[in-house]
Amino acid sequence: MKLAPTERAVIQLIKTRRATSQGEISRFLNLSPATVHSLLGRLESSHFVCRDRRARHGRGRPVEHYRIKRPDPVLAIHWHDSVWYGALFQDNQLKGGILAGDLPVNANLEETCLAIRRARDQILAQDGLAGCHPVGIALHMNAVQTTADGALASSVIPWVRNVSAKQFSDAIGSKVQLDLRLPWVIPELRARASNGIHSLVVLNVANGVSAHGCVFDSEWGGERFYGGELGHMVIDPKGPLCGCGHRGCVESIISGPAILRRVTADLKDGVQTQLLGSLYFGRHFEKCGTAALDCAPEGKPSRHGGMPHFESVVHPGDRLVSPVRLTPAALFSELYRLHLEGTDSYTNTLAEEFLDRVAWSVAVILSTIGPDVIVLSGYALEGRETWRQRILKSARSRVLWGESSEIRLEFPLVTKEDYLRYIANAFAHGPDSPGAASALTSTPISLGR
C-alpha cells in the first residue's frame, strides 16, 4: 500500500510518540479533527496503527491513543548504568520473561556489544521462544545525540563519542536502533493521570543525575539536549571533575560513582567506618606486617540486601591487595542500612551531606518548574522511605512558604515491563516505516542519569 504524505506524517508522529491522539495529531499537523479521524481510520484498517490506550484528563470523554502495529517481534533492552534488563515484545505483548544482568563499566564498544549479544541470546533461550527471530534490537542507553550528524555524547559512558547505531548493529549482528529518549517520564505521568496529576519531574540519582519533566503527556524542554540537566549545574567551581568536562557539577558530587570515589579516597586516608562491608565486596585487605583480612566468599548471600556484611572496620595502615569490580548501587544499599542504624559516625555524615544535596535539588525543581509530583528514581533513592521523608523535610525549609509548602515526593509506579514496552513500541522497521532513524531523539534527554 502506497501511503500519502499526510498518512506518512501521522505514522511518524505516532512512531516517535510526539502525538498519539486525534487531538494531538490535529494540532501538530494543523489539520481538522475530521480529517485526522479519517486518516487514522484508514491507517487502522490497513493495519499500520492500532488503538493503544484510553486516557482521561478531567471531565469529558476519554482520549483514544494510537500506536504502531508491530507484527514482528522486537527485542527491547534497557541499558541503565552498569546493568541491563530486556525482553521480547510482539505487537505490544510480552513474550517470555524479563531478564537482567550486568554490563561492563567504562568498557568499550567491543566489550559492551559482546555483553549485549549474550543478553540477546539469554532472552531468546527462554522456554517458548524457540524459533523467534526478532527484526532488531531497540537499545536504550544513557547518551545524547548532540549534533545533526548523529554524534553521541555521555558523561557516564565516555567511549560512546562518535559511535553510531551501525557500529552497534555490525558488532552485535542484529539491526540496532538506539533509543535516546527517557523511557520513564511519560509513563510515570500516565500512571498518575487518573489522580489529576498533570505535570511531573523524575529526579534520577544513580551513575548520573538528572531531573526531566513531563506535562500533559509531552516532555518539555524543546529539541535541545541540555533540558533537564540538573546534574550538570555547577555548585562548587573547585569541586571534582565531572564527566561533562566541568568541575563541581551536582553529578560529580552526589552520583553513585562520585560517592564511591569519595569513600575510597577517605579509606585510603585512614578513615574508620563499617562501610567496608559493601565497599570491599570481593576484595582482600592485609595489615601492613600482619595477616590478610579476607572478605566473605563471593556470591554468598547475607541478611543485608544480598551483600556480604563485615562487622570489622577499616583501620589506618590497611592496604588494598587485589582490586576487583565494585558497584555504587551496592555501596548505597549499605550506606542506607548503616544510616538507619546510626552507629557509624562517618556513614551518618556522608548520608546527611548527600541528602542535603538532594533536598537542594528538589528545592530547585520546585522553585523553577513547580510540578505536581517529583518522582525519586535511581538506585540511590528509589524505595528508601526514611530518606524520602528526610529529603521532604529539608526541601520544605528551602522553598517559599516553608513548612506549609505542598510537596509531593513519590517513588516510581511504572514497572520494568512498561518501560521496555515503551522502548519496543518506538522501534522502526519495514519499508512502510517512514523516516526510520538510527536514533530517536525527539525529546530532551540527560547526559547522565
Q: How confident is the model at residue 323 (pLDDT cuts 50, 70, 90)?
A: very low
The pLDDT tens digits of the residues spanning 340-395 come to 999 999 999 999 999 999 999 999 999 988 899 999 999 999 999 999 999 999 99
**233 and 294, same domain (yes or no):** yes
Q: Residue 162's CB: how many other CB atoms inside 10 A? A: 11
Which one of 51, 68, 85 terminates a domain? 68
Please identify, among 30, 53, 68, the residue that sits at the C-terminal boundary of a domain.
68
Closest CA to 279 of 337, 325, 345: 325
CATH of the domain at 402: 3.30.420.40
Lowest model confidence (mean pLDDT) among 13-27, 72-86, 113-127, 205-219: 205-219
198 within domain boundaries: yes
pLDDT band of residue 225 (cuts 50, 70, 90) is very low
Q: Is 361 in contact with 393 (CB distance < 8 Å)?
A: no
Same domain, 80 and 31: no
Q: Is-contact 364 374, C-beta < 8 A?
A: no
Domain membership of residue 370 (yes or no) is: yes
| 238 and 365 assigned to the same domain | yes
Asked whether residue 386 is domain-assigned, the answer is: yes
**304 within domain boundaries:** yes
**Integer Cα distance of 29 and 24 in angstroms:** 9
> What's the CATH code of the domain at 39?
1.10.10.10
pLDDT in tens, 56-66: 666 667 888 88
Would you say how long the chain is, in residues? 449
**What is the rounded distance in angstroms from the CA atom of residue 355 to the CA atom of residue 422?**
31
Domain assignment present for 448: no
Both 276 and 385 in one domain: the answer is yes
Regarding whether 347 and 217 lie in a shared domain, the answer is: yes
Can you tell me the distance from the alpha carbon of 271 to that of 53, in angstroms, rounded to the nearest whole number? 55
**Which residues lie across from 214 on neighbouring strands?**
200, 219
Specify whether 197 is located in the same domain as 171.
Answer: no
CB 150 within 8 A of CB 438: yes
The answer on 378 and 240 residing in a single domain is: yes
- The parent domain of residue 41 ranges over 5-68
Residue at 39 is within a domain: yes
How many domains does the chain fold into? 3
Residue 13 has a pLDDT of 87
Same domain as 169, residue 81: yes
Whether 43 and 163 map to the same domain: the answer is no
* Cα 304 to Cα 161, 294, 297, 309, 333, distances in angstroms: 38, 18, 15, 7, 8
Do 225 and 367 belong to one domain?
A: yes
Domain stops at, among 22, 53, 68: 68
447 within some domain: no
Distance of CA 88 to CAs 79, 129, 138, 156, Å?
15, 9, 10, 27
Whether residue 219 sits in one domain with residue 113: no
**449 within domain boundaries:** no
pLDDT at 308 over 70: no
Q: Kindly write down the DSSP assignment for every residue of 258-314, as one continuous string.
A: HHHHHHHHHHHTT---TTHHHHTTT-EEEETTS-EEE-PPTT---TBTTB---SS--
Q: What is the pTM of this model?
A: 0.70
**Tens digit of pLDDT for each residue in 53-89?**
777 666 667 888 888 877 788 999 988 767 788 999 9
Residues 170 and 224 in one domain: no
